[in-house]
Amino acid sequence: SAWNLGVQSDKNPVTMREFFILSYKLSQFCPSDQVILIAQKTCLLMAAAVDLEQERKASTTFEQIQLLNHALEQIHKCKDIWNLLKETGYFSDDPCETLLLLYEFEIKAKMNDPSLDSFLESVWELPHLESKTFETIASLAMEMPVHYPSIALKALKSGLLLHKKKDSIDVLKYSKCMHSLINLSVPDRVSGTELCPLEEAWGYFEDAVSIISHTASYPELEILWLMIKCWNTGIFLYDKGTCVAAKKWCGLALHFLDHLGSLKRSYETQV
């Protein structure tokens, strides 16, 4: 069948896509039951994924736009099928809705679509999204040539909040999300035109210290990175003549130093 040929064509993405589209078209002649709808949904998702992957490799703007439009077309069809599928049963473990959301966001961001903000307004309100989804949105928002730092910041804040809401925090995942959030909030060269005020960024550092002080599994290199980031911010503020704020930031950096393990002695003599 066209589906099997598509699966077997994994080394030739363009051929794979054509077989999945063919499989979808042929399935439209079948009775529209749940099994057929699931097959159609999968075909369209796979075709959209191939288009997006090919777009990343495309050498011309024309090719990129063409592939993005193709992917968007498959996504819209897939959305309609997904809505029908949801009426036939409960698909709580199916990643389809999340994938559609991420694919559509990537396309709209790359095409600088004016409807991006309104699209995201509905995304922020979705109750079932996981922190990983928000972190992926943040990553896509900053993946060259796309540059939407304010979207990335909002997504990372949402992701971090979800990490903190869990009964048992996954410290490794939390630390990665915190790293991304602080890296975006406090660039290496603080210029005064940051995405968020330093007071807000201070809250993230305090949050990290709180988590670190209650767990022994926070990655030591992440603690070190937070300490250096915090210390450098203090030095920057000192150079600007804001000594009180500088002292506060450098003092917080020392809290991170207290939680270093094997690296503590190396840095105690430097601060």
Question: Distance (Å, rounded) from C-alpha 242 to C-alpha 246?
Answer: 6
Q: Provide the percentage of residues in the chain whose pLDDT is more than 90.
A: 68
> Is residue 270 pLDDT above 70, yes or no?
no
Q: What is the pLDDT of residues 112-163, one digit of tens each?
A: 999 999 999 999 988 889 999 999 999 999 998 899 999 999 999 999 999 9
Q: Indicate the domain borders of the chain.
A: 1-94, 189-271
Q: Is 112 left (phi over 0), alpha (psi -120 to 50) or beta?
A: left
Element (H, E) at 6: helix 2-8
Distance of CA 40 to the CA centre of its chain: 27
Which amino acid makes up residue 223?
I
> Is residue 69 pLDDT above 90, yes or no?
yes
The confidence band for 53, taking pLDDT boundaries of 50, 70 and 90, is very high
Average pLDDT of 102-118? 95
Q: What is the pLDDT of residues 205-261, one digit of tens each?
A: 999 999 999 998 999 999 999 999 999 999 988 988 889 999 999 999 999 998 887
pTM above 0.75, yes or no: yes
3-state helix, strand, coil split of the chain in percent (to 5) is 75, 0, 25
Q: What are 31-39's contacts with CB under 8 Å, separation 24+? A: 32/84, 34/85, 34/88, 34/89, 37/81, 37/84, 37/85, 37/88, 38/85, 39/3
Q: What is the pLDDT of residues 6-21, one digit of tens each?
A: 677 777 788 889 989 9
Q: How many CB atoms lie within 10 A of CB 51?
A: 24
Distance of CA 271 to the CA centre of its chain: 35
Question: Distance (Å, rounded) from C-alpha 18 to C-alpha 3?
Answer: 10
